[in-house]
Chain A
Amino acid sequence: MSVQTENLETAAEHPALAADMVTKPFGRDRTIGIAIGVILFVAAIALPFVTKSFFVFQVTMVLIYAIAILGLNLLTGFNGQFSLGHAAFYAIGAYTAAILMDKAEISYVWTLPVAGIVCFAFGFVFGLPALRLEGIYLALATFALSVATPQILKLSPLEHWTGGVQGIVIMKPDAPFGLPLNQDQWLYFFTLIVTVLLFWLAHNLLKSRTGRAMMAIRDNPIASRSMGINNSIYKALTFGLSASYTGIAGALGAIVVQFVAPDSFTVILSIALLVGLVVGGVGWIPGAFFGGLFVLFVPNIAEQFSKGLSGAFYGIILMGLMFLMPAGVAGFIAMLRRKVLRHEG
């Protein structure tokens, strides 16, 4: 009973903190992580030369979703704020890129930083009222944001820029410097470079003073405040940063899919990102890749079971995953590692 009581209290005190959140599933030993990293890197370089074009496109989308999920993870996993509204920031990023390329004819490369900055501003502004909200209330406000987004994008006064219901079609860029790559291969490498860069930045940020402050706020807002951390500024900035990551993902998504339309950015996308986050593991950076894989491939797998009931199978797979690994892939790996270590020692 006493154990249960303690659990209840921890859960009540830190609603955002997953009870068994795993930040280092491989433990402190870095060799495994580095070995896996090297293998993945080689595989990532070789991939577009050995597989079909469509598969390359799919993997590119996995990377894009991974960036978006990483953005959400920065907010939820490392700062303890919920969001069911990240499709809105993804949409803003996508539209920024599309409008810049379509109306201002700016090169696709430069749309990414612009999308990042624009989304940072939006995220920061939305993060200010969100400061006063916690847990389920924040989930609610952001949920409403993402339900409202398609309507705002369809708004007739904005139609000149957004193209209304029709959306905007953009051109696929060619590989620069005469590289012997087709468009899909080039976009894959471009996305890969951006992904590596963004993950590296996030990794370093979280190891810094700022990152520790973010996590301190997640773990105990009162203690962090008494240690001199300005909770409000950090929370609003994290919201902006998170939106910025997701917005860059959105911009990349627009470039790769060559099309933006209001109905691609419904609440379904927000939900998919959240599901990806939880499946990958809240508070574990590489979990975003597993999340990206889930978001892209599991709906297709569900469709293969049955066309009409694909949604039901998707739901069942999701429930099964939650029962098997309530703390996502990160928790699953940590559990395996514990078992292996126990057998060895």
Chain B
Amino acid sequence: MELLIQQVVAGIATGAIYACVALAVVMIYTAIGHLNFAQGEMAMFSTFIAWQLITWGVPYWVAFALTVAISFVGGVVIERLIFHPLANAPILSHVVLFIALLTILTSTAGFIWDFSIKTFPSPFGSAPLFGSSLISAHQAGMMGITLVLLIALFFFFRFTRVGLAMRAAADNPVSARLVGVRVSWMIALGWGMAAAIGAVAGMLVAPVVFLEPNMMLGILVYGFAGAVLGGLTSPGGAVLGGFLVGIIENLAGTFIPVIGGELKLTIALCIIVLVLVLKPGGLFGRATVQRV
């Protein structure tokens, strides 16, 4: 029993990582209706920028804020330069563009900062929280920031004009345009926000998994799994889904032999396939209804 509780708590701690990434995935999905396969690499690149700033002697929180701002601008610029001109291209062309973006970011990061593994500082320190060995201060801080982010997003979408406009643009672009919402800029804004959230996720994850150009691929799959589990249209669901995926991963690793160490990514695969087959909308998502 004690082992079970310990593993659940540890699962929640790793789940916080996935929750963060899942949140970024859902953000961009609601904004543009696509899954961004370059999401992880965008987060990785932002984290490298933060690392560079910190190495130059910028205080952590200043670097944090600067990175979020730079990532936001970067996201908007990527949308304007690359995706806006091809907005009406078939969905497969978009997937290919994501792939192109992914290889460019990985390769450039590897070129500038090389492929060696770097440590990334944590603002919360790595000491165990309240002297208990279950959860470290950084993991607690990570959960805290994820939740703050979630609440902020909720208020943004629920109570601000821009948030409402963004939801309208995603929901029904044509009608939104007719009532004066600048749909294409709302999409750019969605990209910016997703990049910024990705940057936060990257900076929170980096102290745990270390910083290197390929750090995000595995995590992105878990992020996808979390987002699917919670429902691709629900930010809150995505966060909960991320935590659940973390717990499932840890429990499966402890209690099912062989699978534990060797088949971790397969667990994510199973979660994705199972959820999509049994409840395609996810736990909290809306089922997509199609007009015939």
B6 an interface residue at 8 Å Cβ cutoff? no
Q: Which of B77-132 contact A (CB under 8 A)?
A: 82, 85-86, 88-93, 95-97, 99-104, 106-108, 110-111
The answer to whether B92 and A282 have CB atoms under 8 Å apart is yes
Whether a CB of chain B sits under 8 angstroms from the CB of A206 is: no
Residue ID in chain B nearest A77 by CB atoms:
B92
Q: Does A311 contact B (CB under 8 A)?
A: yes
Tell me which residues across on chain A come within 8 A of B264, comparing CB atoms. 151
Establish whether residues B258 and A156, one from each chain, have CB atoms under 8 Å apart when the complex forms.
yes
Q: Which B240-292 residues have C-beta < 8 A from chain A?
A: 258, 262-266, 268-269, 272-273, 276-277, 280, 290, 292
Instruction: Tell me, yes or no, whether A197 is within 8 Å of chain B by CB.
Output: no
Contact A139 B173 (CB under 8 A): no
B residues in contact with A144, CB < 8 Å:
221, 224-225, 265, 268-269, 272-273
Give A133's nearest chain B residue, CB to CB: B276
B34, B218, B265: most-surrounded residue (chain A CB, <10 A): B265
Query: Which of B100, B225, B258, B262 neighbours the largest number of chain A CB atoms within 10 Å of its CB?
Result: B100
- Is the C-beta of A95 less than 8 angstroms from some C-beta in chain B? no
- Nearest residue in A to B228 (C-beta to C-beta)? A140
Decide if B221 touches A322 in the complex (CB within 8 Å): no
Known A314-B103, A318-B100; judge A141-B276 contact (CB<8 A). Answer: yes
Closest residue of B by beta carbon distance from A320 = B100
- Contact between chains at B90 and A151 (CB < 8 Å): no
Asked if B111 and A15 sit within 8 Å, CB to CB, the answer is: no
Min distance, Cβ B165 to any Cβ of chain A, angstroms: 18
Contact B280 A148 (CB under 8 A): no
Q: Are A322 and B173 in contact (CB under 8 A)?
A: no
Asked whether any CB of chain A lies closer than 8 Å to the CB of B35, the reply is: yes
B90 and A18 contacting across the interface, CB-CB below 8 Å: yes
Q: Is the CB of B107 within 8 A of A326?
A: no
Chain A residue at smallest Cβ distance from B111: A308
Determine chain B's interface SS by DSSP, over half rule. Answer: helix
Measured between alpha carbons, how far is A52 from B107 in the docked complex, in Å?
A: 32
Chain B window 35-63, contacts with chain A (Cβ cutoff 8 Å), 1 for yes, 0 for no? 10100000000000000000000000000
Measured CA separation A145–B102 after assembly (Å): 19
Q: Is the CB of B34 within 8 A of A322?
A: no
* Chain A-chain B contacts (Cβ-Cβ < 8 Å), number: 159
Q: A171 near B: Cβ within 8 Å?
A: no
B262–A156 touching, CB < 8 Å: yes
Residues of B within 8 A of A15 (CB): 91
In the bound assembly, the distance between CA atoms of A13 and B228 in angstroms comes to 22
Residue A333, interface by CB 8 Å: no
Q: How many whole Å from B216's CB to the nearest CB in chain A?
A: 12
- B152 interface contact, C-beta 8 A: no
Interface centre among A137, A144, A279 (most CB of B within 10 A): A144
Q: Is the CB of A136 within 8 A of B34?
A: yes
- Of residues A15, A16, A148, which shows the largest number of chain B Cβ atoms within 10 Å of its Cβ? A148
CB atoms of A8 and B173 under 8 A apart: yes
Decide yes or no: A318 and B99 within 8 Å by CB, A144-B268, A148-B268, A282-B90 being known contacts. yes
Is A37 interfacial (CB-CB < 8 Å)?
A: no
With contacts A140-B272, A147-B269, A222-B292 known, is A129 near B262, CB below 8 A? no
Query: What is the bound-complex CA distance between A139 and B106, given in angstroms?
Result: 21
Contact B96–A322 (Cβ < 8 Å): yes
Pair B110/A311 contact, Cβ less than 8 Å: yes
Q: How far is the CA of A274 from the CA of B95 in the complex (A)?
A: 9
Q: Which residue of A lies closest to B259 (CB)?
A: A155
Contact A135 B91 (CB under 8 A): yes
Rounded to whole Å, the gap between the CB of A334 and the closest CB of chain B is: 15
| Residues of B with C-beta under 8 A to A17 | 90
Taking the complex as formed, is A152 at the interface, i.e. its CB lies under 8 A from any CB of chain B? yes
Q: How far is the CA of A147 from the CA of B265 in the complex (A)?
A: 7
Residues of B within 8 A of A274 (CB): 92, 95-96, 99
B107 touches which one: A145, A157, A310 (CB < 8 A)?
Answer: A310
Contact for A19 among B90, B110, B272, CB less than 8 A:
B90
Please determine whether A141 and B272 come into contact, CB atoms closer than 8 angstroms: yes
Using A8-B174, A82-B95, A311-B107 as known contacts, list a sample of 14 further A-B pairs with CB atoms less than 8 Å apart, ordered by residue number in A.
A8-B173, A11-B90, A129-B277, A132-B276, A147-B221, A151-B264, A155-B258, A155-B263, A279-B96, A282-B90, A311-B110, A312-B107, A312-B111, A314-B103
29 A-B pairs with CB atoms under 8 Å apart are: A7-B88, A11-B90, A11-B91, A17-B90, A18-B90, A20-B90, A132-B276, A136-B34, A140-B276, A144-B268, A147-B268, A148-B263, A148-B266, A148-B268, A151-B263, A157-B258, A279-B96, A309-B107, A309-B108, A311-B103, A311-B106, A311-B108, A312-B107, A312-B111, A315-B104, A315-B107, A318-B100, A319-B101, A326-B89
Give me the interface of A with B, judged by CB distance under 8 Å: 5, 7-8, 11, 13, 15-21, 76, 82, 84, 129, 132-133, 135-137, 139-141, 143-145, 147-148, 151-152, 154-157, 222, 267, 271, 274-275, 277-279, 282, 308-316, 318-319, 322-323, 326-327
Interface residues of B, Cβ cutoff 8 Å to A? 34-35, 37, 82, 85-86, 88-93, 95-97, 99-104, 106-108, 110-111, 173-174, 217-218, 221, 224-225, 228, 258, 262-266, 268-269, 272-273, 276-277, 280, 290, 292
